[in-house]
Structure 1
Amino acid sequence: MSTPFGLDLGNNNSVLAVARNRGIDIVVNEVSNRSTPSLVGFGPRNRYLGESGKTKQTSNVKNTVENLKRIIGLNFRDPEFDIENNFFTSKLVELKNGKVGAEVKFGGKTHTFSATQLTAMLIDKVKHTVQQETKSTITDVCLAVPVWYSEEQRYNIADAARIAGLNPLRIVNDVTAAAVSYGVFKNDLPGPEEKPRIVGLVDIGHSTYTCSILDFRKGELKVLGTAYDKHFGGRDFDRAITEHFADEFKAKYKIDIRQNPKAYNRILNAAEKLKKVLSANTNAPFSVESVMDDIDVSSQLTREELEELVKPLLERVTDPISKALSQAKLTVNGVDFVEIIGGTTRIPVLKRSISDAFGKPLSSTLNQDEAVAKGAAFICAIHSPTLRVRPFKFIDLDPYSVSYIWDKQAEDEDHLEVFPANSPYPSTKLITLYRTGDFRMEARYTDPSKLPKGTPVTIAKWNFTGVNVPEGQDSVPVKVKLRCDPSGLHIIESAYTLEEITVQEPVPLPEDAPEDAEPVFKEVTKTVKKDTLGMTVETFGLNPVELNNLIEKENELTNQDKLVAETEDRKNALEEYIYTLRAKLDDEYSDFASDAEKKKLKNALATTEDWLYDDGEDSTKAKYVAKYEELASLGNVIRGRYLAKEEEKRQALRANQETSKMSDIAEKLAAQRKAQAGSGDDGENTDENMDLD
């Protein structure tokens, strides 16, 4: 049975949640953290994923790729690439398909990986984390992504999950996932016939600011409006602090951290910690040892100074709120509550700005870091055939208008806006076309000017075959089922031809008709389904051959990482055994080995130790195992004697304890018998004395 898995793929950290034990649990990683760094690093022999990548980031800065969710589906020539490139320490390159990839040193060679591959590596890592923690199979996942993700990016993230061996049951907007978490676990929501609760949900994470206006009733959620600022988040605050200190240290210490990626990254990490300290304190010291050129730096920053540094950002706070309210056709007075999530909303000045924009106090009843992952896990559980969950219906909004275009045949129209902007989904529409033969259709964004720059206008293409036009007819009607599915993807579910047939239908008899009256029939023309058409589709998704190749590549890399980890483990075990056995030979095992045996074993230990720090520094797992077994074959003989003697001592001690115990029992029984006998004599003497009186 697969455990439903919800993944909040954050730009800085990812949060993992599963539905189990009649609830939603956050999964901790290998170091017991409730979130995992969203980055991938590459080393001489293996990859550093998640926590290990973060640990090695400072020393491996050029071969560590982060901000994965920002570059997936991004064109290298996109104007936004220049913005994103400022946040990368690894080298970003243009792939053959025009997309962004990362060039890194891995295993002594230069490798280029696509953003989809890099994201798949992280997803594979967190999948194994969940499997190890839950001791269960993980096959299905619900992925939470930014509202602004295009159709192409949603296909790419789904492909990344497939490369990692998961089935992406649903791609959900992250704010909607958090709203589901709110709606499911809030017990005081109005009923179906009552006035709905209107909630403004503001999510400001590491890189994106999103505001949604939501309509809640018990068991139901509707998204009324959503707006976002794609380049507003915690990383912008970190960068502002870092740039401030870069200028200060250049003047104060005559060093330019902008020219040294490692130094800049160290200050950036320290700036992130300083930002968190200033969220709870009015001022804080700032110091980093040996930033570059063996120079230690120190300074301080006040909350007021930070607010001045980020003033341009704060001026943009109200825009997403105003747009979301406008889309929902509401004013701030129509909003009942304002909920905030996302780590960046902990900054006091930002909270004040949001509160001022809505004109009411803020609520934080949701866990700011975990609400999205919990909502995604619940949504995944909804689709699970093995779990029963509380019924909850939710409807999201499609921000862009989508039209379907087809070959112009006969005199009919050649396009139709099927899903207008801000229309709810999932949604299904049926259209009828009159075709003279096989045809093509496309789904396109209706108004390209409303799209983020660089977004492809064409979403998908379909080819239909099997259209047979009967003799004597110019065309045949074709019914096409169009759908914006639960993941926000525009698809065609089916297409089939129609034909008109004539059937005999009984005519109702008058009420005064005799009982033996003959039934009367009339001819009726009906339109019925005739032939299901063949359909092939071209989408942004990987074709089966490409997908299988990338799955095999990821499996190879995973096995390589596993082998390196096991090899390192065997090496450490051998090193530990050398030191442990050498110490015990002069202590515990001293009386159980002859001088010749000690000499032989110590020589073997010294020889293996020399090999381990020379030729064996970078050897194979099999070699380490062989060396260990070679030493163990000598050491286990002596250890066996020691254990035999220890067992003999334990047996003797146990026998003594049992003898002592039996002796104690015998003494107690004897004492009891003596006490009982003595008690009888005293009673008789007492009686005699009483008689004498």
Structure 2
Amino acid sequence: MSVVGFDVGFLNCYVAVARAGGIETVANEYSDRCTPACVSFGPRNRSIGAAAKSQVVTNCKNTVQGFKRFHGRAFSDPYIQRLKSSLVYDLAQMPSGTTGIKVMYMEEEKVFSIEQVTAMLLTKMKETAEHALKKPVADCVVSVPCYYTDAERRSVVDAAQIAGLNCLRLMNETTAVALAYGIYKQDLPAPEEKPRIVVFVDIGHSGYQTSVCAFNKGKLKVLATACDPELGGKDFDEMLVRHFCEEFGKKYKLDVKTKPRALVRLYQECEKLKKLMSANSSDLPLNIECFMNDIDVSGKLNRVQFEEMCADVLGRVEAPLHNLMEQASEYQLKKEDIYAVEIVGGASRIPSVKERIGRFFGKELSTTLNADEAVARGCALQCAILSPAFKVREFSITDAVAYPISLKWNSAAEEGLSDCEVFPKNHAAPFSKVLTFYRREPFSLEAYYNTPKELPYPDPTIGQFVIQKVVPQASGESSKVKVKVRVNIHGIFSVSSASLVEVQKTEEGEEPMDTEQQATPEEEGNMQTDQDETKAQGDGQKETEEEEEKTPPENEEMETSPEESKAEKKSDQPPQAKKPKVKTKVLELPVENSPQWQLAIDMLNLFVENEGNMIMQDKLEKERNDAKNYVEEYVYDMRDKLHGRLEKFVSEADRDILSLQLEDTENWLYEDGEDQPKQQYIDKLAELKKLGQPIQERYMESEERPRAFDDMGKQIQMYMKVVEAYKTKEEQYDHLDQEEINKVDKMVNEAMIWLNSKMNQQSKLSLTVEPAVRVRAIQDKTKELYSSCNPIVTKPKPKVELPKENKAGEQNGPVNGQEKAPAEGTEKGTGDSTGNPPSTESTEPRPDMDLD
């Protein structure tokens, strides 16, 4: 079973896997642990990762990157409309209204959804993981920014499903970093002590996230998060690009923004320059050859100028930190309580960014984690914790709800809409709550984020949830409906179940059937997954029994109760006098979930099928290119060898014929053979090998034949010495049989005659003709001689037994380990006699992950 963590970044991706020795970030086929988040579409196949990155300039209209920010967004979203103009590739509207990417693929115009494009990238990362682990990969944990909303998270889960992955958890990037930091710490405070407070700051290419976390031994709790989704390394790149566009416009009279290819090249060079300025404060050059209209351009910049230019961007660094500390103040936390400030992300290397963060917290920043790989490693650790394949140190993770979630519904009591905040900001997650409604008919709930100004997303709606098949009680009163709402392990909100509590009065003293009473109370904290629905039903009945004396109001009302605290209500009740008992029946109600921008099941299945077809097409194209490359490689290799080491093994006439055929094949490859089916290349290679293979075989035979002759000669000499030793009656061989020695003598003589004959024949032949004997025949003859003679000459001398005066076994007990077997049998019998099998491990032990 695979244990894999995927960090799907805006610019780059990382794959971490769990092995018995711990967590390892694996390299792709280019031996690089960093895979560009880039997909390129061609006339025959797709290129993903590093291969796509190399086409950013040459195939810019069909090479997409930076698509992570389009997840779960409508095409009409103002954010999408604002970005459209700055993109080299085209965006289009999907039939569902979401954003798609328009490209030319297989010489047709296609529009791919963001889920499909992300699935392509995940497919590549999955291949990288499978290549490293040497086994199929299915289970994984995928990282997402902590500021992602419900629709964006569902979009990423769908993308993982399209790629054939089972996403065990969508993990917030800052939480993954915190896990990678905390699980290795041996000196964390005990659970009952004051926790250690650590701030994590992640500044990536396109997002800025911060979180404050509390650590105890074996425990991590995210207290608060704050972010700026539009601040990152790309903003510094933008400032540099803008600066050089202006400079080249004045200096060379070039309008760079009119040429997408030139703009892409400038972005690449500015990114390199930014990285160089992080390490050097001197003037640094920027040179691009044949930039536009065959003009070479150059410029220079230093760190001081760069920081002055980016003053506005740098001014935005502190705002999320202020926000974070405001939220932390709810826990009575101050800057002095912070143990460490850990920074990760590519843009965290910019000196001025580090300086501002350090100045805000008034302490030196910690860089103990790998700035690029920490998220992937945290995800792999979480996957190992969730997977049964690895035994990992106990470590519980409590995340936080990024934005407050409310429900609203139609209420007859208030003649309009009623609403209620179900999960406040920074509420623990995953978490379930049970809401109680009194209704006579089906009703709907609308979930939404109640702070739209904080939301980096235009639509605060999460979705509509319809509770179906609600009917009134037999008495005509409103029925009690228990609705269970949940923020799950992915951070996605849902109405996970609903049940109707039917009340049936019974005679005094009659014992009601108490089928639902056996439910156990929730454990404190209720950090479980969606496996507690029966508990919710049991708790619902307890409430019903308590409240049966009350008459439910005619008007609809709602009660909220976190699941973990209900059991206490029952236990606090004093013993009551005997009264009419109430029997309740809990009926499960169907819930219709309609989340905002949810990908329809039929579309999801279609995308899964399309991804499979595209993977197959990529595979066929790779095989076709490989077949073509084999032909090309054979042409060049053979042409060199014909005038090199194979020269002595081919006649003049044959060499001329083969050279001409090689030249014709080379011309064909670059003309008619440029784009042919795979079988054409296979046939062409077979045609060349028909002439070339015999020549190569003659060379190989010539190389290996002397050694084969030599090995056989050594065997013959060895057996001749044994025969001679027997004849001179040497003690070592005097136990051998005369007939068998004669047989060896005869076989050795025959082998010597055959060997001399073949060596003489071969010495008379030219190297350009077929050999008199092949190496394989010589080796077979040598083996035949060995198998016939060796058993005879190595026959051991018979042992001489000395007469025994007494039987040691009878007087001194068992000998030669005879006692051991019965003893073992006795031990086994002990296990059986008690009715229990002996305690042996029937399954393979799970590998321990070495976290120390």
Deviation of the 1:470 alpha carbon: 4.3
8 Å Cα contact 2:277/2:303 also seen in 1: yes
Aligned match of 1:335: 338
- The structure-2 alpha-carbon separation of the partners of 1:293 and 1:522, relative to structure 1 and needing over 3 Å to count, comes to same
Sort the Cα spacing of 1:74 and 1:43 in 2 relative to 1 into closer, same or farther, 3 A. same
Q: Which one of 423, 426, 430 corresponds to residue 426 of structure 1?
A: 430
Per-residue deviation, 1:216: 1.3
Is the 2:229–2:456 contact (alpha carbons within 8 Å) kept by the matching residues of 1?
Answer: no
Q: Provide closer, same or farther for how the CA distance between residues 121 and 661 of structure 1 changes in structure 2, counting only shifts above 3 A.
A: same
Aligned partners of 1:538 and 1:657: how far apart in 2? 84
| 1:547 paired residue number | 604
**Distance change in 2, residues 1:368/1:25 (3 Å):** same
**CA displacement at 1:422 relative to structure 2:** 2.6
| Contact residue 93 and residue 102 of structure 1 kept, 8 A | yes
How far 1:461 moved relative to its partner?
Answer: 2.5
CA, structure 1 residues 250+160, in 2 after alignment: closer, same or farther (shift >3 Å)? same
2:45 paired residue number: 46
Aligned to 1:676: none
- Which stretch has the larger CA shift, 265-274 or 646-655? 646-655
User: TM (normalized to structure 2)?
Assistant: 0.72
Report how far residue 447 of structure 1 moved: 4.0
Contact 1:140–1:167 (CA<8 Å) still a contact in 2? yes
Change (3 A) 1:653 1:172: same
Decide whether the 8 Å contact of 2:502 with 2:587 is kept in 1: no
Q: What is the 5 A alignment of 1:67-146? A: 67-85=66-84, 87-146=86-145
Q: Name the structure 1 match of 2:163.
A: 164
Deviations 1:141-184 (A, max 9, x none): 21111122110000001111111111121112111111111111
- The alpha carbon displacement at 1:367 in A equals 1.1
SS at match of 2:156: helix
Number of the residue aligned with 1:488: 491
1:593 CA drift (Å): 4.0
Q: Pick from 560, 577, 580: which aligns with 2:634?
A: 577
In the TM superposition, 1:201-600 aligns within 5 A as 201-283=200-282, 284-329=284-329, 330-406=333-409, 408=411, 414-455=418-459, 457-501=460-504, 502=506, 504=509, 522-523=578-579, 525-526=581-582, 528-539=584-595, 540-600=597-657
Misfit runs of 4+, over 6 Å: 409-413, 656-665
SS of residue matched to 1:552: helix
- Comparing 473-482 with 613-622, greater Cα deviation is found at 473-482
Partner SS for 1:630:
helix
Q: 1:333-359 deviations in whole A, cap 9, x for unaligned?
A: 232211111111111111111111111
The answer for unaligned runs of 5 or more in structure 2 is 512-575, 723-852
Q: Work out the CA distance in 1 between the residues paired with 2:673 and 2:427.
A: 65
- 1:660 is displaced (CA, Å) by 10
Which amino acid counterpart does residue 154 of structure 2 have in structure 1?
Y
Q: Hey, what's the Cα distance between the residues in 2 that align with 1:486 and 1:321?
A: 26
Paired residue type of 1:425: A
Task: Tell me if the contact between 1:180 and 1:221 (Cα under 8 Å) persists in the aligned partners.
Answer: yes
Q: RMSD of the alignment, in Å?
A: 2.6
Equivalent pair of 1:574/1:624 in contact (CA under 8 Å): yes
2:510/2:581 contact within 8 Å kept: no
CA deviation digits over 1:47-80, x for unaligned, max 9? 1210001112121122111112111222333222
> Which runs of 5 or more residues in structure 1 are unaligned?
507-519, 666-693
Partner of 1:626: 683
Q: Matches of 2:413 and 2:356 in 1, distance apart?
A: 58
How far apart, CA to CA, are the structure 2 residues paired with 1:89 and 1:197? 47
State the 1:306 CA deviation: 0.8
8 Å contact from structure 1 (residues 505, 522) kept in 2: no
- Of 381-390 and 434-443, deviating more is 434-443
Q: 1:95 deviation in Å? A: 2.9
Distance 2:317 2:451 in 1: 27
Give me the whole-angstrom Cα distance separating, in 1, the residues matched to 2:273 and 2:345.
Answer: 18
Aligned AA for 2:587? D
Q: Is the 8 A contact 2:142 2:169 kept in 1?
A: yes
Contact between 1:199 and 1:338, CA under 8 Å: does it hold in 2?
yes
* CA distance, structure 2, for counterparts of residue 414 and residue 504 of structure 1: 41
Q: Partner letter of residue 610 of structure 2?
A: K
Q: CA deviation at 1:462?
A: 2.8
For structure 1, which segment, 101-110 or 342-351, has the greater mean C-alpha deviation from structure 2 after superposition?
Answer: 101-110
Q: Matched residues in 2 for 1:358 and 1:87: separation?
A: 36
Mapped to 2, the partners of 1:619 and 1:342 lie a distance apart of 46
Q: Shift of the alpha carbon at 1:550?
A: 0.4
Q: Any idea what SS the aligned residue of 2:581 has?
A: strand
Partner of 1:454: helix, strand, or coil? Answer: coil
Question: Following TM superposition, by how much is the alpha carbon of 1:13 offset from its aligned partner in structure 2, in angstroms?
Answer: 0.5
Counterparts of 2:183 and 2:583, CA distance in 1: 44
Q: Provide Cα deviations, 1:94-150, integer angstroms capped at 9, x if missing partner.
A: 333333222222232222222121111111111111111211221112111112211
Shift of 1:307: 0.6
Shift in alpha-carbon separation, 1:528–1:449, aligned structure 2, 3 A:
farther
Q: Give the Cα–Cα distance (whole angstroms) in 1 for the partners of residues 634 and 432 of structure 2.
A: 66
State whether residues 44 and 108 of structure 1, in contact with CA within 8 Å, keep that contact through their aligned partners in structure 2.
Answer: yes
Inter-partner Cα distance in structure 2 for 1:617 and 1:54: 24
Distance across 2 between alignment mates of 1:223 and 1:86? 38
The answer as to 2:697 corresponding to 1:640 is yes
- Take 1:661 and 1:356, find their aligned partners in 2: how far apart are those partners? 85
CA distance in 1, matches of 2:341, 2:308: 26
Partner SS for 1:185: coil
SS in 2 for 1:291: strand
State the percentage of identical aligned residues.
Answer: 41
Stretch deviating more after TM superposition (10-19 or 71-80): 71-80
Q: CA deviation at 1:259?
A: 1.9
Q: State the alpha-carbon separation in 1 of the partners of residues 583 and 287 from structure 2.
A: 79
- Choose which of 708, 717, 722 in structure 2 pairs with 1:651: 708
- Pick closer, same or farther for the CA change 1:35–1:6 going to 2, 3 Å: same
Structure 1 window deviating more from structure 2 (408-417 vs 292-301): it is 408-417
Stretch moving more, 160-169 or 524-533:
524-533
The CA distance in 1 between the partners of 2:286 and 2:448, in whole Å, is: 52
C-alpha deviation, 1:657, in angstroms = 7.3
Query: C-alpha separation between the residues in 1 aligned to 2:457 and 2:489?
Result: 25
Match of 2:54, as an amino acid?
Answer: T
Deviates more, 1:537-546 or 1:202-211: 537-546
Contact 1:142 1:376 (C-alpha < 8 Å) held by counterparts: yes
| Contact kept? 1:498, 1:527, Cα under 8 Å | no
Match of 1:609 among 666, 669, 674: 666
Taking structure 1 as the reference length, the TM-score comes to 0.88
Q: Identify which range, 390-399 or 6-15, moves more after superposition.
A: 390-399
Structure-2 separation of matches of 1:450 and 1:610 = 65
Task: Measure the CA separation in 2 of the matches of 1:308 and 1:195.
Answer: 43
Note if contact 1:409-1:435 (Cα within 8 Å) is conserved in structure 2: no
Per-residue CA deviations over 1:655-686 (Å, capped at 9, x if unaligned) read 57789999999xxxxxxxxxxxxxxxxxxxxx
